[in-house]
């Protein structure tokens, strides 16, 4: 059973974290409830209790979710798991190292869980370990990401076939969101970005009431969620489907070349900031100042997750990571161009998830 394998893998990787045979690991990020048990819960804490070779798990939630968890864990007879919806979690007297995810643990939760604890409690931040575990996708996860991307591709093609000229950015966003649902998405991956003409110079522009004109370049940043997994794709199109002018073509070609170059740098063992830096330096000196965001990030149950390909990131790319490559150039008052796709890293190869060409013309 895939869930059992994931639980055991998390326990094993945490055991390696500090070479401890006995530890507690407290996971309060709800994403892990979905990853480990397939349950979308807004209120859950998962406690891994590892003593030598013995593993037991306690799930702390509320009555809204307890029955769901009980039904999921019932067939998992190889594991000792209990669900608690009526007693508080307290580790104040823990005698073993305690691993937490500091990016998600709130001060209020921390104080509650460790209230009255001794001053020599050993807590360690295992957030990066947990993130890296989820970054290595199994076959089911890659299949879900492929399906999410295919849904998003179909929605974009349908949108462009209808035409976007003469409609406001908000209208086009709403139409795209509806198409995503129509083609099978659980929901959009994020708030769809439609940025036309001069609005395209803002990387994450909020769709406005600006009416799209025929000669506009339009950035469409979109994604579908399928079984909890998020796709993320961006295409820059000519609104009237005609040829790009000379200035637009120059920008498109620069971003396309940078994208293709970036893909060659996304290999197992590469460091996030080094991949970002190599693409930043690929642009000319004049262009470089107009590349104003990071190169990419992992995708999965979260739209932005480990590894991050951005300045300052020491995240390491591994086989079976799924990452975006999304260089862009932005010229205030004129336009912006971004080309983004997701790639599966595997044994020195990269598989592009979207079936659409990088430039649609």
Q: How far apart are CA 321 and CA 122, in angstroms?
A: 31
The predicted structure's pLDDT at residue 255: 98
What does 34-89 look like in DSSP terms, one character per residue? HHHH----SSEEEEEEEETTEEEEEEEE-HHHHHHHHHHHTT-TTSEEEEESSS--
The predicted structure's pLDDT at residue 206: 97
Indicate the SS3 state at residue 342.
strand
> What is the pLDDT tens value at each position of the chain, 361 positions in all?
688 999 999 999 999 999 999 999 999 999 999 999 999 998 999 999 999 889 999 999 999 999 999 999 999 888 999 998 776 788 888 889 999 999 999 888 888 888 876 667 889 999 999 999 999 999 999 999 999 999 999 999 999 999 999 999 999 999 999 999 999 999 999 999 999 999 999 999 999 999 999 999 999 999 999 999 999 999 999 999 889 999 999 999 999 999 999 999 999 999 999 999 999 999 999 999 999 999 999 999 999 999 999 999 999 999 999 999 999 999 999 999 999 999 999 987 899 999 999 999 8
Domains, the chain, ordered by start: 2-133 (3.40.350.10), 139-352 (3.90.230.10)
The predicted structure's pLDDT at residue 118: 64
CA 355 to the chain's CA centroid: 20
For the record, the structure tokens of 251 come out as: 């920008």
The predicted structure's pLDDT at residue 200: 98
The predicted structure's pLDDT at residue 119: 63
User: In this structure, are residues 276 and 294 in contact, taking their beta carbons and an 8 Å threshold?
Assistant: yes
Alpha-carbon torsion, ordered 104, 129, 307, 270, to 10 deg: 160
Q: Which of 345, 338, 341, 344 is nearest to 355 (CA)?
A: 341
């Amino acid at each position: 059973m895939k869930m059992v394998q994931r639980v055991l893998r998390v326990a094993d990787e945490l055991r390696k974290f500090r070479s401890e045979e006995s530890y507690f690991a407290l996971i309060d990020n709800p994403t892990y409830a979905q990853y480990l048990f397939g349950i979308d819960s807004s209120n859950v804490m998962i406690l891994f209790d590892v003593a030598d070779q013995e593993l037991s798990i306690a799930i702390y939630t509320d009555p809204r979710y307890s029955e769901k968890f009980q039904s999921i864990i019932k067939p998992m007879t190889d594991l000792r798991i209990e669900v608690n919806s009526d007693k508080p979690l307290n580790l104040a007297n823990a005698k073993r190292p305690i691993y937490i995810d500091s990016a998600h643990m709130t001060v209020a939760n921390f104080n509650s869980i460790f209230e009255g604890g001794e001053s020599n409690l050993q807590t360690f931040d295992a957030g990066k370990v947990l993130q890296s575990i989820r970054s290595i996708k199994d076959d089911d996860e890659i299949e879900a990401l492929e399906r999410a991307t295919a849904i998003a591709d179909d929605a974009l093609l349908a949108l462009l076939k209808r035409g976007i000229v003469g409609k406001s950015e908000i209208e086009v966003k709403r139409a795209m969101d509806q198409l995503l649902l129509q083609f099978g998405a659980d929901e959009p991956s994020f708030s769809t970005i439609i940025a036309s003409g001069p609005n395209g110079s803002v990387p994450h522009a909020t769709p406005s009431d600006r009416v799209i004109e025929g000669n506009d370049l339009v950035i469409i940043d979109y994604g579908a969620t399928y079984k909890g997994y998020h796709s993320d794709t961006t295409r820059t199109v000519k609104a009237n489907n005609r040829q790009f002018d000379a200035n637009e073509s120059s920008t498109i070609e620069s971003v396309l070349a940078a994208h293709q170059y970036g893909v060659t740098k996304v290999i197992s063992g590469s460091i996030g900031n080094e991949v970002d830096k190599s693409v930043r330096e690929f642009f000319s000196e004049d262009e470089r100042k107009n590349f104003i965001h990071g190169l990419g990030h992992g995708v999965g149950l979260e739209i932005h997750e480990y590894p991050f390909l951005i300045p300052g990131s020491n995240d390491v790319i591994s086989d079976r990571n799924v990452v975006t490559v999304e260089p862009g150039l932005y010229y205030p008052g004129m336009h912006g161009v971004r080309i983004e796709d997701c790639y599966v890293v595997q044994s020195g190869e990269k598989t592009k998830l979207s079936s659409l060409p990088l430039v649609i013309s």
